[in-house]
Amino acid sequence: MWFRLLELLRGGARAKPAPPPDTPPSEDSRPPSPERSGVPVDWRRIYADQRPYIFPPARGAPRPPETLPPGYRLLGSEGPEFFDPAVQHYRCAFRHAEPVFVQAEDRQRWLAARQRVMDHVLGLIARSPWQSRLVLRGSALLRTQLGAAARRPGDIDWVVLPPALAANSPSGREIIDDIARLVGSRPQVDAGTTIDAERYAIGAIWTYERAEGRRLTFTWSVDGLPPGTLQQDFVYGEPLAEAPAETAVTLGSGATVELLAASPALSLCWKLLWLGNDIHPQGKDLYDAVLLAECTRLPPGLLEAVVTQAAAAAREQPMPLPPEIDEWDVDWENFRREYPDVAGDVEDWKRRLAVALARSPDRDPASLTAR
């Protein structure tokens, strides 16, 4: 399904001239979701297999509507929210955004508290028996790979080993349940910041796009500020075209913990795969891909291996997708809402990616500056 994406590194990574104003937009050639295409979907089976739940259920409370992801329901519907394609199998596919603060100092204190919660959870897993079964990727790894240029992380992303393990198998469920107990057993982050060990949510992600996974969500609180959530996404059945490596992962405090992690090159390949294939390509993936491409040399054959393995894992046949970067319909608006300090529009960043992929990188992460 993603084979034409390989043209990115075979001369296809180029920016085309802008069409005349009267030229109608080309029809989106990405495959529609089951809901869009009218393909019948047995959601009852999906929900039964994926066990979305909140622990513990409030006594006497009505059953939460299945139109909202379980992690979203922990805080209710107050405050800003973002569309989240990972939970698009729910009618209301949202995740909570950062609260809106009147005082900039309160916002910085809230963000710092969230980072301490993430550091705490990463440290717990690094010291747990599951350290050898989980591969870190995503925003929590970017500070290690990109330094100060990395966007601030908001969640933790894991690839579960071995790739043959099914999300709904007893062993697959054991990982999530045990990590939930682990975090719940150590809820105190610091004197003023606490994870709510009594209530957490588990729900399915990526049910008909990408490799399937589970999302574990906890709420946390810090003195005098609104509560927040920390979600961990665990993806099962994700082929690894490159072996993960023991990595000293940099935390927000500057300390490091030893975790298995994806390399910058593999991280870049995944970003390109998602940008070229996802029904809803995300602005955060474009931003990350640009910075990774500007300082990472892709080993020969790695991108081809990633897209070939992904197609094989999904049991899908190759079908045409836009090889041109500027044909990607990236959701930049929501990304800018979450990261308003990022300069440039989506076309600027797509051109920048095309340039980075067309040349050999000549910079390292230390030479990048925050944007």
Least confident of 89-93, 126-130, 283-287, 334-338: 89-93
Which residues does 266 contact at the CB level (< 8 Å), separation at least 6? 137, 240, 241, 242, 302, 306
What pLDDT score was predicted for residue 30? 35
pLDDT in tens, 44-63: 343 334 434 434 444 444 44
Least Cα distance to 239 among 262, 264, 272 occurs for 262
The SS3 call for residue 318 is coil
- The domain segmentation of the chain, as residue ranges, is 1-16+263-371, 43-258
Whether the ω angle into residue 56 lies within 30 degrees of 0, i.e. cis, is: yes
89-106 confidence digits (pLDDT tens):
655 656 666 777 789 999
What are the φ and ψ backbone dihedral angles of 65, each rounded to 5 degrees?
Answer: -65, 140
- Lowest-confidence range among 75-79, 156-160, 300-304? 75-79
How sure is the predictor about 211, in pLDDT bands with cuts at 50, 70 and 90?
A: confident
The residue with greater pLDDT, 7 or 172, is 172
The beta strand positions in 182-317, using DSSP E, are 188-190, 193-205, 213-222, 228-235, 245-250, 256-261
pLDDT above 70 covers a percentage of the chain that reads 67
